[in-house]
Each structure stands twice: as C-alpha cells, then as structure tokens.
Amino acid sequence: MQSKKLIFGITFFILVIFSMTASARVELTDFFSDFTTSDVTINSDANFNGKAVFELFYSGQLVESHEVPVNIKSGGALTKVIIWREKPQHDFYTAIVSLYEGDRFLSNISYNIAYGTVTLPAFQVVDFSPSNSGVKLLLRSYNPTVTDIKIELLDNNDLIYSKTKKDISLTTSTELNIEWPFLLTDNKNYVVRAKIYSHRLNAPDLVNTYIGAFTATDDVEILPADVQVDEYGASVTIRGKSQAPFDGSIVVTARNRLTGDTRSYSQQLEDILTSGKESTAGIVWKQIAPGTYDIIIEAVNRKNISIDKYETVLRIPEDSTPAVTTTAKSTPGFEGVAFLILLLLVMRKGV
C-alpha cells in the first residue's frame, strides 16, 4: 500500500515538474497596443501549438476580444498582430494578451492605453497607400520631431515582413517609399501597418499605428514611347508594376476602317514580369490588306484578362508587301532580323 502511495506521489511530482517546465518554454514579449492595433512576440524553445487571446478592457469590463492560433517550432519566434474594431469612447483602457495551450492558461501580459491629446503625434498622415509593388507614406509635421518608422506586411494575423527607417527628421513634408523585396500571391489580401515611434526628451517614445490594405494582383503597363507600329507589324514593350508575377502575352487587334475586317495577333512574352522589369515582344502582320486600321494593343494575362491597353492608327500603303507571322526578338525597337530580310526582298523586286 505504501509503495503504491510512493509511486503515485513520484508520478504526480514528475507531472507537476513537467507541466511547469512545458509552461516555461513559451514566453510573451514586446507587447504593444494602441486603439488601432495590438501585437505581441512569442518565443518558444520547444514545438508549441496553442492560441493567443487579445482582450481590450475598460474599467474591468471586456470591450473586445480576438483569438489567434499560435504554432511555433522549437527555438522559433513569431509576432502576432490584431486590428481593433471598436472606436475608443473613453480616455483609458487596458489591453491584455493571454497564451493558452488548448484550454490551459499559461501566461498573460498587459498594456495600458491612453486616448486623447496625450497620444496625439506631432504630425499628420497625409497619404498611406499600400499596393502590389510597395507602400507610400506621406507625413506632414506640425512641429519638428524625429521618428523611427516601421513598415510591416501582414498575412492575416502573421507578420511576414518588416522594415524600419530610423531617426527620420520630420520638419515639413516627408515621403517614405518602400518596395516589397519578395513575390506576392495573386488574389491574396494583405494588410500593411505603419508603426511610428516619435522620440521624446526624457520620456518614452510615443507610438502610433496606421493600417491599409490591398489585394495582390498582377499588373503591367504598356510603355507608349516604346510602341512601334508600321506596315510590317508592331513592337510593344511592357513593364511590370506588381510583385504578383505577370505571365502573359501581347494581343494586337487591327480593324480596317473601310471594310470593318478585323484581325488579331498574339505573342507570348519571353519574360515573367514583376515590378520594374521590362520585356519586348512583336508581331508581323499576316494577310493584311492596304488601308487605314484602328490598332488596339493589349497586355493579357493567363486568365485572359486585359491588364493594360494602348490604341493608335495605322495606314498601310498600296505598295506594301504582306509578311508572314514571326516572333519578334525581345529587344526594344522593331529593326529585327525578320524586317531586314523583308526589306532586302522589297529592294530586290524594285531592281
């Protein structure tokens, strides 16, 4: 009987020690909240699956709550971010984030939030525009101040990218532009947060956050200055405007103004385009009669969606020689080898 009690006692002791050790492996750090967003960093020295619960309280009464899953590999760390939905109605609130493993409470941490003139920054956000290619932030200062500006890209509640510009002097108007250095997923919704730390003398930094959102889509533009259309064909240069890759074609439609006869020509781009990258493609007319044509040039993606369009007019004289369809080399201009050959043929016929 005594041996059973001893075994039970040792087992219970081991379980308690194991439970305490498991709880100690996960740590909540760097908790922050204002009335726009809240974030916390979670560190773990073991694989952990659980949840974090963000709560906003006023005078002990729950105002709002958000629950987000937490999955960390051993030795890892991650940051979770939530966006508060409720608008502040009072001057002081308390934000609390709690960590759970299943239904078992592990730990929590709190942050006091003040609202009103004490939290007003010395600047105004004039423009905050996140997009497929990056983000633009324009600030106008009321009083000269020095700030650190952190731009963060969020995928749901996960922080997937962060870039900080330190000690930026705000005097009049200050513009900050940051480009995404990685590929985005087409048709995925992203949230961008600007976290601005205003440095204060003999006081902690004043921190304010601002959010914007966008849906990642492939985007390109046809460069009008690099479009060349003549009696032999068309050459088009396209530039990428998004970090969601564009894999598509140029489609050129020629409509005869007199007869209404319409012909379309398509050419796949050699390159897949992202922000700032360019590619040139061309087509050669096939069985097109002399006359005046309305020309429509489109950049079309794999989903057959026209992303950009350019229109012009072309007159093909009576003495033009029809050409056969070829693929233009992916270089600016339209003095390709195919046209040199055609030009030599025309010259020989004229001799």
Which pLDDT tens digit goes with each residue over 127-140? 999 999 999 999 99
Which residue, 158, 197, 155, 192, is CA-closest to 177? 192
Buried/exposed code over 263-295 (b: 16+ C-beta within 10 A; e: otherwise) = eebebebebebbbeebbbbbbbbeebeebebeb
Query: What one-character-per-residue DSSP string does 132-146 give?
Result: SSEEEEEEEESS-EE
Residue 132 structure tokens:
């497929």
Please give the single-letter amino acid code of residue 3.
Answer: S
Phi first, then psi, for residue 280 (nearest 5°) are -115, 135
The pTM of the full predicted model, rounded to 2 decimals, is 0.78
What count of Cα atoms within 13 Å lies in the side-chain half-sphere of residue 7?
4
Cα(131)–Cα(219) distance, rounded to whole angstroms?
Answer: 11
Residue 42 structure tokens:
């979670």
Contact 191, 152 (CB under 8 A): no
**Residue 117's pLDDT is what?**
67
List, in order, residues 6 or more apart from 80 with CB less than 8 Å away.
39, 40, 42, 52, 68, 70, 157, 158, 159
Q: Which residues in the chain land under pLDDT 70?
A: 1-24, 117-118, 320-351
**Residue 268's pLDDT is what?**
96
CA of 66: how far to CAs of 16, 34, 62, in Å? 30, 15, 11
Cα(118)–Cα(105) distance, rounded to whole angstroms?
Answer: 34
Class of domain 120-215: mainly beta
What's the CATH superfamily of 220-336? Immunoglobulins (2.60.40.10)
Cα(195)–Cα(178) distance, rounded to whole angstroms?
Answer: 14
What's the CATH superfamily of 2-114? Immunoglobulins (2.60.40.10)
**Residue 88's pLDDT is what?**
85
Q: By percentage, how much of the chain surpasses pLDDT 90?
A: 77
Buried/exposed code over 306-322 (b: 16+ C-beta within 10 A; e: otherwise) = ebbebeeebebeeebee
List the chain domain ranges: 2-114, 120-215, 220-336
Which residue, 126, 114, 123, is CA-closest to 199? 123
Q: Residues, the chain, total?
A: 351
List, in order, residues 6 or more apart from 182 with CB less than 8 Å away.
161, 243
Same topology between domain 120-215 and domain 220-336: yes
Buried/exposed code over 70-84 (b: 16+ C-beta within 10 A; e: otherwise) = bebeeeeebbbbbbb
Residue 321 structure tokens:
């020689």
List, in order, residues 6 or more apart from 258 with CB less than 8 Å away.
291, 292
